[in-house]
Amino acid sequence: MGALELRNRLVDIIKSSDERFLRLVNELHKSYQKKHDVDFFTELPQEIQELLMESRVQARQKKTRTHEEVMDDFRKKYNSSGRV
């Protein structure tokens, strides 16, 4: 059943439902919305939030390096070809 079919089916169900069922559906929808409206950032530990904010500032200041640059340094430091 596709989204359109499901939507139409739910409309039919809702039109023929009693108040108790409608209240249940309403609460389910509110619960679903709360989970999707939560900003994941505020759910992170404070230390992680601070590290992410610091990294954002560094990125704006162009204080970043590419993956390739980091891997080149790693290979030089550990005398590695990078092959497994």
d(CA 71, CA 81): 10
Question: pTM score, two decimals?
Answer: 0.42
pLDDT in tens, 12-37: 999 999 999 999 999 998 888 877 76
d(CA 73, CA 58): 20
CB-based burial of residue 25 (10 Å sphere; 0-12 exposed, 13-18 middle, 19+ buried)? middle
pLDDT in tens, 41-58: 888 899 999 999 999 999
Of residues 40, 38, 36, the one with CA closest to residue 28: 36
